[in-house]
Amino acid sequence: MKKIAIIAVAAATLASCTSKKAESSLSPADQLRQRLESTVNDKKVLFGHHDDPVYGHEWAWEEGRSDVLATTGEYPAVMSWDLGALELDSVKNLDGVPFVRMIAEVKAQDARGGINTFSWHLWDPLTNLDSWQTGDSLVVSRMVNTPEGIATYNTQLDKLADFFLSLKRDNGERIGVIFRPWHEHTGSWFWWGRNLCSTDDYKKLWTIMRENFDRHGVDNVLWAYSPDRCDTAEKYMERYPGDEYVDILGADVYHFGGEDGTEGYVRDASSTLDVAVAEAASRGKIAAFTETGCESLVIPDWYTRVLLPIIGKHPVAYVTVWRNAHDKPQHFYAPYPGHPAESDFKEFHNNPTTIFVK
Ligand code: BMA
């Protein structure tokens, strides 16, 4: 209830400072930008979970179910999705989520006052290798520098642009969403990673994408840049495509190694978010903790003891944890009913700073 009250007050404040005319002239992306900015100004943080309402720990594809809902009574305020395989004309994404269902859930999340964000674990358009195939270090170079590569990349982008344009409310208004392409590029586990392409070629992935989306008239996307752990601004900004291409400065940092890994996680998440927050502030952008988590929640009070202090020190609009796989029992990042981390997660949910939605 309290969370709904917060959203209602925020909405009323926004409505009172913005005339109806000015509001309707804002693009869906700019409306979402305002929402995220006011979240940060109010010192709140939206909680997010990947694929939350379509499957969870040991269940899949039921409607209305969610591990976060089952443990807290509310849905995550941010639903995270992945578009991988849309570019192949597949009806399901790389983790088996039907795109038709994803679109329905995006609408449902918007209707309950929540937000949607998308990543893209795509297949290499020229050789059809998945995102994790790093044996060929010329993939990006061919994609952005050869006529065949650019044409094939644009064919993929046409499909993504059409997908984003199709995200509409019942009244026909487009739904503002976040898109976070080419993520974790400061590591080298995806074929667009740091050791697999030049800085210039990485930036071209963004510029070609943006030109394509602009040609399609996509006006409902905020762009998130999300490096993996980086302890200096120099590393973080090395491949930043430019202020005109980015709205949200993120960080993808996971907690590995259980309790032994706590110190390293807190250090790396803090140093990366220090940079994201400082760069966002100096550029008029929004900072976010775009991906994190402690797999299996081997630390039962991880949410309140480890994560909450980090986000308390870093003004981020949202924090997103990765998925609760239905077919890999140890691969989950939010607790499910009966898990030892459940009561701590309820406490995290009840903290006055965290936002979930009904
Ligand atoms: C990884 C794992 C994989 C999944 C991929 C894309 O972190 O969760 O099982 O296929 O993300 O969602």
Which protein residue has the closest C-alpha to ligand 1 atom 7?
322
- 252 in contact with ligand 1, CB cutoff 6 A: no
pLDDT recorded at residue 14: 45
Rounded average pLDDT per 10-residue block, the chain, 358 residues? 43 44 79 98 98 98 98 98 98 98 98 98 92 96 97 97 98 98 98 98 98 98 98 97 98 98 98 98 98 98 98 98 98 98 98 98
Cβ(10)–Cβ(38) below 8 Å: yes
Q: How far is CA 324 from CA 65, 139, 196, 288, 311, in A?
A: 13, 31, 30, 21, 22
> How many other β-carbons are positioned within 10 Å of the β-carbon of residue 271?
18
Category of 43 on φ-ψ map: left (φ > 0), alpha (ψ -120 to 50) or beta:
left
Cβ(319)–Cβ(292) below 8 Å: yes
- 184 in contact with ligand 1, CB cutoff 6 A: no
- 51 in contact with ligand 1, CB cutoff 6 A: no
Task: Indicate the DSSP class of residue 81.
Answer: E
Which protein residue has the closest C-alpha to ligand 1 atom 8?
323
- By most ligand atoms within 8 Å of CB, the mutation choice from 322, 326, 328, 332 for ligand 1 is 322
pLDDT recorded at residue 128: 85
Structure tokens at 57: 């720990």
Cβ(306)–Cβ(345) below 8 Å: no
Structure tokens at 36: 């995220």
Ligand 1 nearest-atom number relative to CA 323: 8
Euclidean distance between CA atoms 210 and 130, whole angstroms: 22
3-state SS assignment for residue 264: helix
pLDDT recorded at residue 125: 87
Q: How far is CA 311 from CA 126, 222, 280, 353, in A?
A: 40, 22, 15, 10
- 183 in contact with ligand 1, CB cutoff 6 A: no
3-state SS assignment for residue 356: strand
DSSP assignment string, 182-205: STTTTSSSSTTSGGGS-HHHHHHH
pLDDT recorded at residue 127: 85
Beta strands in the chain (DSSP E): 45-50, 55-56, 59-60, 75-76, 78-82, 115-119, 177-179, 221-225, 248-249, 286-287, 289-292, 318-321, 354-357
**Predicted model pTM:** 0.94
Q: Angle CA(14)–CA(50)–CA(162) in degrees, nearest 5? A: 75
pLDDT recorded at residue 17: 44
Ligand 1 nearest-atom number relative to CA 328: 9
| Alpha carbon of 247 to ligand 1 centroid (Å) | 25
Which protein residue has the closest C-alpha to ligand 1 atom 3?
95
- 97 in contact with ligand 1, CB cutoff 6 A: no
Strand partners for 79: 49, 116
Euclidean distance between CA atoms 207 and 138, whole angstroms: 18
Ligand 1 nearest-atom number relative to CA 121: 6
Q: How far is CA 198 from CA 142, 187, 192, 195, 242, in A?
A: 12, 13, 9, 8, 16
The residue assigned the tokens 């220090």 is 274
3-state SS assignment for residue 36: helix
pLDDT recorded at residue 23: 53
Question: Do the bridges between strand 59-60 and strand 55-56 make them parallel or antiparallel, or are there none, so unpaired?
Answer: antiparallel
For the chain, counts of helices (H) and of strands (E): 12, 13
- 205 in contact with ligand 1, CB cutoff 6 A: no
